[in-house]
Amino acid sequence: MNLTSPTPPPGADGLRLRPPRYRVDRRAIAWWTGRALLWAAPPAVALAVTAVFAEPARSWLWPAAAGAAVLGAAYTLVMPQWRYRVHRWETTDDAVYTAAGWLWQEWRVAPMSRIQSVDTTRGPLQRLFGLSTVTVTTASAAGALAIGGLDHERAAALADRLTATTQATPGDAT
């Protein structure tokens, strides 16, 4: 079955796995870049600082610091752009659809009747960029669906809409 085609036969509940329609906010690229820098810079800096003060190990610490810097820079430049191309989300009256990942990509659909809770979170970097993450907890072994990189106001409106829709949807979310 081709997962990119919207024509697979619907399941028993009328839902099907399909690509979600909406991208996350473009500011998510800067957020992911900031997170990548916070992850990639410390090893290179630590190796370089150690090379300055560790005379006997300089011959291998400088190349290690350069290697860590090159790998960190590549990760910081490529990963946010790639993730932005992949991350998608959509909600309908029947389900929440998400696509996420950059190396390991995942598409998920959660019927409204299976939603147990809806939360929004904002870390320090997300607040800096005006973004939020909406987490939809379901009665699924696969765990919660997270839609990261949404505009804060849009995330709050989405959480309100999902809460209202799930309250109006019959089912016990188990």
Contacts of 32 (CB under 8 A, 6+ apart): 79, 80, 83, 84, 149
How far is 35 from 58, CA to CA, in rounded Å? 29
**pTM of the entire predicted model:** 0.81
Contact between 149 and 87 (Cβ < 8 Å): yes
How many whole angstroms separate alpha carbon 149 and alpha carbon 101? 13
Give the pLDDT confidence score for residue 7 in this predicted structure: 44
Query: Residue 56: its pLDDT value, please?
Result: 84
- For residue 158, what pLDDT is reported? 96
Q: Give the Cβ contact number of residue 161 at 10 Å.
A: 13
For residue 131, the SS3 value is: strand
Q: Which pLDDT score is estimated for 31?
A: 97
Q: What pLDDT does residue 8 have?
A: 42
The two tokens of residue 12 are 């028993």
Indicate if the alpha-carbon torsion angle 129, 123, 34, 117 is positive or negative.
negative
User: What is the structure's pLDDT at 15?
Assistant: 63
What pLDDT score does 5 carry?
A: 39
Enumerate the domain spans of the chain: 30-82, 88-168
| Encoded tokens for 130 | 């005006």
Provide the pLDDT for residue 54.
86
**Secondary structure of residue 13 in the 3-state scheme:** coil
Residues of the chain with pLDDT under 70: 1-16, 171-174
Task: State the pLDDT at residue 174.
Answer: 56
Q: Report yes or no: 6 and 18 within 8 Å, Cβ to Cβ.
A: yes
Fold of 88-168: PH-domain like (2.30.29)
DSSP H helices in 87-151: 124-129
